């Protein structure tokens, strides 16, 4: 680890595998398929570890991710962001290379235009209706009659094939405590299942009922009527998820390796070379019980948290860490290294092109590449 | 612009050139050289436009940037982050290819170790002493006797060549109003010039006196004794700089082109496909008079701000924009495009691999690549 260029993104494969097992067990126990959201990992290596020995079945947040995974032969892809017609040509490209990406819609005009374009391209697009279970972002509210209306329109469209419904209970990120999370998971399930039932009663087939967010996926007690579970950050977890109570510090698979680059004894702080780009400016823990600043500092080799050492502030390439006492200067001389656990790993990982893989607490020679961009 | 994949980073070349002229005039008027900080633009095209017809003379925030610029023949590079010995091998590589990167130091032990490594490599490293003028991050306080001590040590070191002193008045980002900025610029100048004078009195040569931050560079009334000015964000400016009062909205050279991907009439908001990765999670305007959320929304083709339309919240690939009235839904149908001016362009641009260049308000066929990583 001493030779890595810092800042570097570390991934503990053992923790990753444990996190994957946990989510697979949950999905298995609840009787639903797992369709991980690869927006977090953006890595074929991670995707394969989740699904093995089966081929990966993924959710993606960008068409660049879809193209990346299709390039590795992944064919079962759900694009989890509202589709718009201007992106149709790239989707057609994916269909033509054997990756019939499932699309999500909440708008009749978009459905009509996509159908027109698909018809011109002689391609039939697989689509799901996006539902809004908690007001978090997009989708039609589950009880809104527009669900059936849109379902019927899609059914009638010559080049659209309705697979079912999907939703994401994003407001689960603001739940306080286990009970609230369980209740929110049930809201997510019930909303999706009810909308699916209404579609079926209206004579519209609705095979897939896709729900998920890491917190609700881990809290759900029952997923009757749901066919698949989507979750992303569970593979790595992060400080925000610790704050939510869905994991512990020992479940954090990713950290940023940084070098201490300056001591400022007069002002009682150290500087490291992981700043706002490497850690991201995410401050999601600011609203939680434990505000983790821009990340918690840990021992570089063991990954053990150094309680009370926090990245308090970041500039673009500087992380500012107030010391607890002068002993910290001695323990962390300029040139030494620390690990930093970030608030929100989806944002932090996005700054890096690869993971340096650890196993048994040691750096392996594996480096897993990530995709990026749009 | 209709065919660009969104989110896309737009750069208005005319505004860029105007911003460059403004800073060049200032540096010229104040009698100092301009050494732009390319941490913002990370682009050889931008670097060349700043310096032409002279070859670029740059500041960088990472060794990856140094290597990138050296690859284009840039030889006058200042690495503006505290140097540590573990990065020496890459610096030696730069020296060997004819790019003798200037390094900054604030630590005697680092100086000694760098000298040892440089001696082994038979390379003499050009270094500056980093000064702390306002407690912002690294550096030795200007009045601290350690400035002369370190200066003498470097002078005695066989393979270190002391060029001078440098500082960055980063606390200028918290100044309120023109007067405070002018005063802060003078604090920056005076601290650096005084430390340089003390070094010279101690018999240590100090040719370079390098200061700068965009706000102080634009506010300074006098830079006597300073030899060069560093500034980065001035090339593009951003909403935070508007809030500081050092530029206006018309000076914003960069914006993110996004597609409206969903209408949520029930909840009175639109969603676009520029989220937390494309815009960054930077919330620096939250502390200013006008909190711009995660960015201000503008007309896609003209770039004119749509007053009151703000990206209020972001998920990874979603920007949530509350509408002002239902008329916004009609004006911005799903599939239409908007531009978003970000809070902090250094962070926002970091998510993109290139700039799509506009001129005369229209998209050109120029696409300027950026470097990234470390």
Choose the closest CB to A81 out of B107, B132, B317. Answer: B317
Share of chain A above pLDDT 70, in %: 100
CATH classification of the domain holding B45:
3.20.20.10
- Structural domain includes residue B285: yes
Mean pLDDT of B358-364: 96
Same domain, B146 and B288: no
- Structural domain includes residue B309: yes
Which residue in chain B has the smallest CA separation from A373?
B352
pLDDT band for position B283 (cuts 50, 70, 90): very high
Q: Give the Cα separation of B371 and B374 in Å (integer).
A: 9
Same domain, A362 and A230: no
Same domain, A231 and A279: no
pLDDT band for position A36 (cuts 50, 70, 90): very high
Same domain, A69 and A163: yes
- Structural domain includes residue B119: yes
Same domain, A112 and A148: yes
Mean pLDDT of chain B: 97
Q: Which two tokens stand for residue B232?
A: 């980065």
**Closest of A138, A64, A81 to residue A374, by C-alpha:** A64
Share of chain B above pLDDT 70, in %: 100
pLDDT band for position B176 (cuts 50, 70, 90): confident
pLDDT digits (tens, 9 = 90+) for A238-251: 999 999 999 999 99
**Closest of B96, B78, B151, B88 to residue B118, by C-alpha:** B88
Same domain, B74 and B164: yes
Same domain, B208 and B256: no
pLDDT band for position A55 (cuts 50, 70, 90): very high
Mean pLDDT of chain A: 97
Q: How far is CA B337 from CA A129, B81, B328, B333, in A?
A: 23, 38, 12, 9
pLDDT band for position A176 (cuts 50, 70, 90): confident
**Closest of B279, B61, B270, B312 to residue A347, by C-alpha:** B279
Domain end residue (candidates: B190, B206, B235): B235
Same domain, A218 and A106: yes
CB proximity under 8 Å: A 172-231 to B: none
B2, B5, B295, best to mutate vs chain A, most A CBs in 10 Å: B5
Chain A residues touching residue B85 (CB < 8 angstroms): 335
**What's the number of domains chain A is made of?**
2
pLDDT digits (tens, 9 = 90+) for B10-45: 999 999 999 999 999 999 999 999 999 999 999 999
Q: What angle do CA B304, B307, B310 make, to 5 degrees?
A: 100
Contact indicator for A197, A211 with CB cutoff of 8 Å: no
- Structural domain includes residue A275: yes
Q: Give the Cα separation of A296 and A306 in Å (integer).
A: 8
- Structural domain includes residue A265: yes
Per-residue confidence (pLDDT) for residue B200, from 0 to 100: 98
Which parts of chain B fold into alpha helices (H)?
13-30, 44-51, 63-71, 88-96, 108-121, 146-156, 178-201, 214-219, 239-244, 276-279, 327-331, 345-349
Q: Which two tokens stand for residue A314?
A: 């970041």
Q: Which two tokens stand for residue A104?
A: 């999500």
Q: Provide the residue range defining the domain that includes B228.
A: 14-235
> What angle separates helix A63-71 from helix A44-51, to the nearest 10 degrees?
70
Domain end residue (candidates: B200, B235, B270): B235
**B255 CA to centre of own chain:** 16
Is the pLDDT at A136 greater than 90? The verdict is no
pLDDT band for position B295 (cuts 50, 70, 90): very high
A130, A134, A282, A335, best to mutate vs chain B, most B CBs in 10 Å: A335
Q: Give the Cα separation of A204 and A219 in Å (integer).
A: 30
Q: Which two tokens stand for residue B75?
A: 């030889």
Closest approach of A255 to chain B, Cα-based (Å): 16
B261, B287, B343, B372, best to mutate vs chain A, most A CBs in 10 Å: B261
pLDDT digits (tens, 9 = 90+) for B45-67: 999 999 999 999 999 999 999 99
Closest approach of A264 to chain B, Cα-based (Å): 7
Which residues 6+ apart lie within 8 Å of A7 measured at CB? A256, A257, A258, A273, A274, A278, B374
Around Cβ A267, how many Cβ atoms within 10 Å? 14
Per-residue confidence (pLDDT) for residue A195, from 0 to 100: 97
Same domain, B260 and B351: yes
Contact indicator for B256, B262 with CB cutoff of 8 Å: no
Choose the closest CB to A334 out of B109, B263, B346. Answer: B109
- Structural domain includes residue B3: no
Q: Give the Cα separation of B270 and B91 in Å (integer).
A: 48
Same domain, B254 and B302: yes
Which residue in chain B has the smallest CA separation from A273?
B81
Mean pLDDT of A304-330: 97
Peptide bond into A244 cis (omega under 30): no
- Structural domain includes residue B24: yes
Choose the closest CB to A351 out of B61, B263, B350. Answer: B350
pLDDT digits (tens, 9 = 90+) for B79-103: 999 999 999 999 999 999 999 999 9
The half-sphere exposure of B258 on its side-chain side, counting CA atoms within 13 A, is 33
- Structural domain includes residue B259: yes
Same domain, B282 and B163: no
Per-residue confidence (pLDDT) for residue B340, from 0 to 100: 98
Q: Give the Cα separation of B134 and A338 in Å (integer).
A: 26
pLDDT band for position A2 (cuts 50, 70, 90): confident
Mean pLDDT of B255-272: 96
Domain end residue (candidates: A207, A235, A263): A235
Same domain, B112 and B187: yes
CATH classification of the domain holding B359:
2.40.37.20
Is the pLDDT at B136 greater than 90? The verdict is no
Is the pLDDT at A194 greater than 90? The verdict is yes
Per-residue confidence (pLDDT) for residue B2, from 0 to 100: 84
Chain A residues touching residue B106 (CB < 8 angstroms): 262
User: ipTM of this predicted complex?
Assistant: 0.97
Is the pLDDT at B1 greater than 90? The verdict is no
The residue behind tokens 């815009």 is: B279
């Amino acid at each position: 680890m001493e030779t890595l260029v810092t800042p570097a993104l570390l991934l503990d494969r053992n923790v990753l595998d444990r996190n994957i097992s946990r989510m697979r067990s949950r999905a298995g126990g609840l009787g639903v398929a797992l369709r991980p959201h690869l927006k977090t990992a953006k890595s074929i290596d991670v995707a394969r570890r989740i699904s093995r020995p089966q081929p990966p079945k993924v959710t993606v947040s960008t068409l660049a991710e879809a193209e990346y995974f299709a390039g590795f032969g992944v064919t079962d892809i759900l694009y989890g962001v509202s589709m718009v017609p201007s992106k149709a040509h790239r989707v057609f490209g994916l269909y033509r290379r054997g990756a019939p990406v499932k699309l999500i819609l909440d708008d009749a005009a978009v459905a009509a235009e996509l159908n027109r374009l698909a018809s011109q391209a002689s391609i039939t697009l697989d689509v799901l209706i996006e539902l809004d279970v908690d007001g978090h972002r997009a989708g039609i509210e589950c009880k809104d009659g527009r669900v059936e209306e849109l379902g019927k329109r899609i059914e009638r469209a010559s080049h659209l094939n309705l697979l079912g419904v999907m939703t994401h209970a994003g407001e689960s990120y603001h739940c306080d405590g286990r009970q609230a999370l369980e209740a929110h998971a049930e809201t997510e399930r019930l909303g999706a299942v009810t909308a699916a039932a209404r579609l079926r009663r209206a004579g519209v087939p609705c095979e897939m009922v896709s729900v998920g967010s890491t917190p609700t996926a881990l809290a759900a007690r029952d997923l009757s009527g749901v066919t698949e579970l989507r979750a992303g950050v569970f593979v790595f977890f992060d400080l925000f998820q610790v704050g939510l109570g869905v994991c512990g510090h020992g479940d954090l698979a990713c950290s940023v390796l940084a070098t201490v680059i300056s001591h400022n004894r007069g002002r009682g702080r150290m500087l490291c070379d992981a700043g706002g780009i490497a850690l991201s400016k995410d401050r999601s823990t600011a609203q939680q019980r434990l505000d983790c600043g821009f990340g918690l500092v840990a021992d570089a080799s063991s990954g053990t948290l150094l309680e009370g050492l926090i990245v308090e502030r970041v500039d673009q390439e500087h992380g500012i860490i107030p010391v607890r006492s002068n002993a910290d200067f001695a323990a962390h001389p300029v040139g030494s290294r620390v690990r930093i656990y970030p608030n929100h790993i989806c944002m932090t990982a996005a700054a890096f092109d690869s993971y340096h893989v650890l196993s048994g607490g040691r750096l392996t020679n594996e480096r897993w590449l990530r995709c990026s961009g749009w």
